[in-house]
Structure 1
C-alpha cells in the first residue's frame, strides 16, 4: 500500500474523515519527512490529528507534551476509542502506574504517550532515540515569556532537540502573535522549523464591542430571544460569575456559575450539563472551555475585557464551531484596564503582559474593521473590511487619510523601523525634546510634517493604522513599529486609506426646517449630555457620538426612534444605547 493510500485509509479508519482539513495534510507530510515545524492552528482546526496520524505511520512512539493534566485522560480515552494505543504519564499517577507506562514504552506497545511538562524530567532518562518517532509540543506558546500563558516548566523543552537531534519536533498552538511564533522556534532550538499558519478568519462570528456600562440590562436584552441557545459569559472574578448566574436564573434563564473555587466533581458536572445541552448558559472564569469541543455554542460574552488578544480570540473561538452565524460581545471599560494592570504587577513577564494589555485596549477602542485588527495581530494581513462586525455595520465617519497615513509610514521608514509609537509621534509633531535631538531625528525629512495635528490625535491615527494592518508592533523589541506589505502599497503604489474622524469641526449650516435662533444652544446641551455619558462609560466623547452627529441632530430635531436612526452616525447599536436619552434632551430643549 502506498504512503498516500495508507494515509487516507488511516484517516478514515481511526478518525472517520474522508479528507483532510486545510493545512493538515501538509503538516502530516512534513512530519513523515522528519522535519521540524511550527503550526499555528486556531481552536477547532484539528491540530491533534496532525501528530496523531503520523504517529500511526512511523516506527516508535510519539511523545506529546501537554499542560492540561485534567484533559490527558480524556484525550487518551478518545484515542483508545478510535483503536489507537495511547497512554499518559503525569503526577496524578502512582509510581507503579508510571512504571507500567515506561514498560509499555520499552516494549513499543503505545503509539502516543502524553506527558506533562513538569513530569518530563522523570521520563527523559527512560527515553531512547530508537523508541521515539516525534515530539509534539501542544500549547507551545507556554514556552515563551511573550506567550499569554507562560509556564516555567516549558522552558526545559529546548533540551529535547539537543538530546535527540534526529527526532522531529513539532510545536502546536492555537494562538500566537508574530513575536511569540519567533520566540517558540528559538526556545525549542528549531530555528529552521517550517511554519504552517492556518487562517484565523472565522467569518461566521459577529464581532462587537460595547462600553461597559449597564452590562446586566444589556445582557438581558441581548439574550431576550436566545433562551434555548448555548452560550458562555466570561468574567474576571468568581464573585461576578455567581452574581450574574443568579440574576439570569431569577429572570427565567437556565444558567450555572463555573470557577476554580468549586470542587472538581462539581466543575465536571457543570461542564457535562453544558456539553449535553442540559444547561444552555455558563457564567465562568477563563478556566472554562479548555478542551471542550461543543459545536453549537451560539454566542460568547466577555463581561470584562480580557488581558490579551490571544485569550480573547481563544474564548470567542468556542462559539460557532459548526460554521453557523454566532455572536461575540465584549464589554469594555477603563476600570477593567486598571484592574488588569494591577493583576500583572510583580509577574515575571510584567513588561510583556502590559504590552499585550495595551494592544487589547487598542482593539477594544478600534474605529475600523475589527476583523482586520484581529487577523493582523496574528500576522495574517488582509485589507478588505469584513462587513460582520459592529464597526462595519455602523461605521464612524471617515475621511481620506491617505496623505496622513503616508506621512506616518514614511516616518516609520525613515526611523529605520526601530522606534515605538511615542517617538514616531514626537518626530511627526516636530517635538523639541532631548530624546529626539540626542538621536538627531530633527534632521530627517518627516520631522514636523504633522505639527498641525494634536499629539494625542496623531497617536490615535497611528493606532488606527495598526488596527488596519498597515503597521505592526514588535512587543519583544521594545515596541518598535514596522511597516507591513500594506504600508508599502500605501507608500509606493498610491493605495488609499480611510481614517475615522476623531473630532469633526462642522461649519454652521442654515437650518432647513427650523429657525437657527430656535436651536441656539442645543448643540452645547447635546455636548454636555455626550460628556456625561462618556464619563459614565470611561470612553472618549467621540466614541459616543461625533460632533457631526450632534450637528445633524441639531439640524433634524428627531422626535421618534425612526427619525433618530436617520441621523448621520446613528446605527442600531447606538440608537439602542443612547437614543432615548438624546431624544429626551432634544424634547426638553424645545419645551424651554
Structure 2
C-alpha cells in the first residue's frame, strides 16, 4: 500500500486514526486485465472479515478518548463521521491554506514517519482483527522498509490521479474517503493558534515532541480542506455506513457528550481565569485611583465652593470653625467622590451631609437607624428654614384613589350597551375614560352602538392607519371624545392624568395586562374607578384565542380566579399574583369586597362535581361535544335533551353561582378545556379533568366559598 505524506510546521506528538481493512490499489495499466482480476480475486478470498466485538468497540472508544486529551494541541481539524468509511480533514487558519498530495512531499518525510507507521499498523491490525493477532503479519513492503521508507506503488504520479480521467491535476481542496486511512497528526508549531479535531489516537503515552505534522493517506485518496462529504479517488461518493448495533450508536453519542463536557469544563475554567483577572484589574484600578485621590489636598480652601461653604457655615449654622476631617469630607463629597467617614459620637457627622446640600443643587437622602434621631434632625433643619422631611414605618401611606369593582356582565349585547350608556351620561358625565375590549370587531361594534346613543366616543385598534389612530388620540387628549373604545394597544405610555374611569368590557387576557390597563385611571391622585365586566361565556371565547400561547391559559385562569373570588380584597389578590405583600387594610375600602363585604359560606360541592361528571360521561356516550354554557344548562336540566341525564337533580344554586362552580372546577383541574378548529375559528369544549376520577370514586371531596345569597332555599 503506497502512502503519501505532507509535513506542515514544527510540532510535537503524533496521533493516529485508523479505519477498516485497506482499499485495493489499482495496478498499473500495463498489467494484463486477466492477471489483475485473478490477483484481486485471490486477495479478496484471503481477506479476513472484520468482526466488531464489545472489546474492540471499547478499545476504539479508548482511542477516541486518548485523542480528545490532545485535542487542543494540533493545528488540524479532523472529523471522523459515523462509521469507518469517511473522514474530513480541515486545517485551522493558523496551520496551512492548502494541502498538496504529491510524491515529492511524501519523499521528503518518509524517513520521519516510517517507524511510527509500523507501530501504528500493528495496533490497527490488533484492533480490526483481535482474534488473529498471532496470524502472519503483513510484509514490510506494505508498511515501510527497515529504514522507515514508504515506497510509492509502481506507476504512481506526483499528482493525484482520478480513474477515468486522463488529465493530471493537483487539487488543493479535496476529500479523504479511502476505506483505509491513516492520519498521523501532531500539534501545530509553537506560537500558532491550535485547531481541533475528532479522530482516534493510539496511545497518548507515545506522543513525542519535535515531530512535524504529517498526514498520511492511501494513494488515490482525496484530501479535503472544505469540510464537505468525502468521496473516493475514482469519483465514487462514499457514504457513512450506518451502525448496525444500537449499542455502538449509544457509545458514539456518549463519546460526543464526553467531548462536549470536556469543552464546557475548559470554557468554565477559562471563564474563572478571566473573572479572576478582571477582579485583579479592577482592584488595581481602584488602588491606583485611591492613591491618586489620597494625594490630593482635600483640606484646601481654594475650591470654587470654599467661599460659599464658609459663609453658609457661619451665617446659617452659626459655626466659626470646623472639627478634624469635616472639611476634607465635604470637599470630597462636593467633588462627586464616594466617601466613607468614621467619627465618634459628637464628632460632627451630620454637618458633613447637611452643609453640602444647602450650597449645592439637588437633594440629599439620609438613611438613619433611629426614628428619634431623624425627628431631632428634621426639627433642627426646619428651624433653619431648610426644607426637610422624613419617612418611617409610622408615616401614613399614600392614599388610594382608584376604586376597583367587578360586575356581572349583562346577558345580552343590548343590555350591556344600555348600562354603558347610562354610566357615561350620568356617573361619568363630562369625565374622560377608556373602555377596553378584546377584539377589533367588538371595538367597532361598541363604538357604533354608543355613538347611536349620542355619545362622543372614538375607536382605536391596530387595523387603523397611523393617521386615524393619531387623530383619535388627539381628540381624546383634547376631551373632544369622552372615551376611547380600544384594544390593549391603546393607553400604554400615554400621559393623560385626568382619566376618571377605565371599563373592561371583557376580562383581560392576563393579570399583567389588567394591571397595566387599569393603571391608566387616576394618575392625578384624584378619585377614579376601574370596572371589570365578567361573564362566564367570555372565559371560553378568550381561552380559544390564547390557548396556543405558552402560558396563555395559565394567565387567563389567573384573571378568572380574580373575578370569581367572593370575599378577598381585590388589591390583595393582585399583590399575591405578583408575589407582593399587601394587607386588606391597605385598600382603605377602595374595592367592592372591602367596601361591600359579603357573607360567604364554605360549601361542599363534591356532589355537584360528581353530577357534572355524569353529564360529561353521558355526552361522551352520545358523541356530543359540550361547551361551558351548555354544560351549565344540562346540569340545571335545561337545553339540549340529549345532554340531560335522567334522574339528575338540579343544584339549589342561582345560575351565576353554577357558573362560578364550573369555573372553579376548571381552575382546579377537575374539568379541562379541549379546543377543536372549525372553518372560521376554534371552539372550546369541556371535558373531565385529571382530578375528576378521584372525586367520582369517592376518594376526594371538593369545597369552595359561595355567597349565602346565591344559595337557593
Q: Does TM, normalized by the shorter one, top 0.5? A: no
TM-score, with normalisation over the residues of structure 1?
0.36
TM-score, with normalisation over the residues of structure 2?
0.31
